[in-house]
Amino acid sequence: MTDVNEFRKKYDYCQDGVEDKIMEFFKQYHFEYYAEAIRIHQEAHGDGSIEPSPGELLGAFSEADKEELFFEIVKNWFHATVPEDYK
């Protein structure tokens, strides 16, 4: 298992500007996990908001025992989106 803190030092998917883009990517290409993240968010907050956080999205992958897939997708997204930073 990838250490979340070490992973986020290199691939900070919660930084300003990146969070919205990566969440939109998951919403578009991995909606089944995004929808589960919405459920997790609503259970935790009950505020009617449907915008999950990256942490809730990771939780959705974790519940499906696919945590490593989440990290692989995020890593690949960074390499494809800003390849000059990850050579």
Query: Each residue of 17-76: pLDDT tens digit?
Result: 999 999 999 999 999 999 999 999 999 888 777 889 999 999 999 999 999 999 999 999
Return the CA Rg of the chain: 13
The total of other beta-carbon atoms located within 10 Å of residue 22's CB is 21
Q: Is the whole-model pTM more than 0.85? A: yes
Contacts of 13 (CB under 8 A, 6+ apart): 19, 22, 54, 74, 78
State the amino acid at position 20 in one-letter form: D
The total of other beta-carbon atoms located within 10 Å of residue 4's CB is 12
Query: Does 16 have pLDDT greater than 60?
Result: yes
